[in-house]
Chain A
Amino acid sequence: MAYPAAYRYTKEHEWISVEGAVGTVGITDYAQSSLGDIVFVDLPKVGDRLEAGKIFGSVESVKAVSDLFSPVSGTVTAINQELKNAPEWINADANTTWMLKLDLANPTELDALLSAPQYEAFIAEETEH
């Protein structure tokens, strides 16, 4: 499974892609595969303030609800409105289906996140059970 090298990852299976001080956030392929068919996404509003490590929304499959944890702190500047009616895009391509964009409050928080190889090692360990 290819996890884009340019992204950073959380242990809760979110990814963030950064350009300057703007971050784009989604969930990983591992997350969508574990969830199954996604039917509902609950996202914050533009202007909301997110905190690194705190819950910012939820994603639901037919069977389960899963919280979404913010990789970094910042202010939401855009929400992917397509996910309201077509959340299954996340299943189709988790790596490129974005959920929200935010202005980073503290770019040094990125250093605490996992690189792609670190994330792949992390999920390899998880699936060993």
Chain B
Amino acid sequence: MSTTSNPAPLLRKTALNATHRALRAKMVDFGGWDMPVEYSGLIAEHLAVRTSVGLFDVSHMGDIQLRGPGSLAAVQHLCMNDASMLAVGQAQYSAMLTPGGTFVDDVVMHKLSDNDYLIVINAGTREKDVAWVRKQIGSMPSIHIGDYSDYYTQLAIQGPKAEATLAKLTDTDLSAIKNYWFTWGKVCGLYNVMIARTGYTGEDGFEIYVPSDEPTSSRVWGEILNAGAEFGILPCGLGARNTLRLESAMALYGHEISDTINVFEAGLGRYAKLDKGTDFVGRAALAAIQAAGGPQRKLVGLEMIERGIGRDVYPVCTLAGQRIGQITSGSPAPFLRKNIALAYVPVQYAALDEVVAVEIRGQLVKAKVVATPFYKRAKKST
């Protein structure tokens, strides 16, 4: 272990940094942010979200607001999904693409009103995304672009008991908010808090956006933990956040999606509306890929069938040991109790039940291609 005195690079902190440290969270540098990776234990936190409720500080994510009469046109040009389909109070998964049809970032697009859109972006790509947005649509008419990333403390309350927990803190009828819709309401005594039925865990849940001053943020955090105490709520870190989204086969920028991976390779073509009637950055490249017969490699789900854990960047090989691809995200799955991974392989190896090998520290360990998502929550009967 090195003992040279290099000062640690200054990490960014959310308003809840002291709160996490007071809870004795293990902290980690995540994309330049000092964030909690786990509190009581990754597996316990993961299981709390799957069976009851967990609370995440995701304030490191960014928020770009587009306002003005030209904002729909700007959003339609900037992002691949069709924002004209959105009603006020509705959100959609989308992405900003490079002209080559690869990813600048994936986003959640929220229609706040006809002239008002909120784009939630990844933490590690905040500055890059804001610069990209200004470059792509900055000269379009009748819009104002605002970076509100530091304005909000964003909290995710996720799990089957998330609604019951949050319901104790608001008069808003949460049962009326459908999946991927949002509203505003009074939460923990704060007016006009955005309450969105969104998340990154594969469970039901909400994300709320409160002012980012430390006293408000820590008060709301504490009230949510109190409200969820009867359900066994746990504060959850980035470790569980990763295993939860992996079980649900949700993409992570820098892993399943990046500026060298196109939309069809990533299996996200259903969110790219080439026929929405307006051009968008990357549209022509996607059309060309389709015309050429589609992608040459695909993102598949893998389940280890021999003893071993396939992890990020481990090579994927034929059974004979020829390297054909790479794992983008791989880990034990705490709820499924299997070792799972997402990986890019050439299309001829992408069929379900295809058996491949993962190279784990020099050994070939067998895995098979399985359907994704690996985990899907039971549908509520409405």
Contacts and interface: CB of A to CB of B under 8 A. Distances in A.
B114 to A, nearest CB: 44
Interface in A105-129: 126
A61 B26 CA distance: 14
B309 A63 contact: no
Contacts of B159: none
Interface string B40-56: 01110000000000000
Given A37-B41, A37-B43, A39-B332, A62 B311 contact: no
A30 interface: no
B41 A36 contact: yes
A63 B331 contact: yes
Interface string B237-249: 0010001000000
Chain B binding site: helix, strand, loop or mixed by DSSP?
Answer: mixed
B1 interface: yes
Interface in A52-78: 58, 60-63, 65
Nearest to B38: A36
Nearest to A65: B311
A62 B43 contact: yes
Interface string B130-145: 0000000000000000
B349 to A, nearest CB: 26
Interface residues of B, number: 16
B334 interface: yes
Contacts of A65: 309, 311, 361
A62 B1 contact: no
Interface residues of A, number: 12
A32 to B, nearest CB: 11
Interface string B292-330: 000000000000000011010000000000000000000
A36 B332 contact: no
A58 to B, nearest CB: 8
A100 to B, nearest CB: 18
B334 A62 contact: yes
A89 interface: no
Interface string A87-106: 00000000000000000000
A63 B239 contact: yes
Given A36-B239, A39-B309, A63 B1 contact: no
A128 to B, nearest CB: 10
B309 A37 contact: no
A77 B277 CA distance: 72
22 contacts: A36-B26, A36-B38, A36-B42, A36-B239, A37-B41, A37-B42, A37-B43, A37-B334, A39-B332, A40-B309, A40-B332, A58-B361, A60-B309, A60-B332, A62-B42, A62-B43, A62-B243, A62-B334, A63-B37, A63-B239, A65-B309, A65-B311
Given A60-B332, A62-B332, A65-B309, 11 more contacts: A36-B38, A36-B42, A36-B239, A37-B334, A39-B332, A61-B42, A62-B239, A63-B42, A63-B239, A63-B331, A65-B361
Interface of B: 1, 26, 37-38, 41-43, 239, 243, 308-309, 311, 331-332, 334, 361
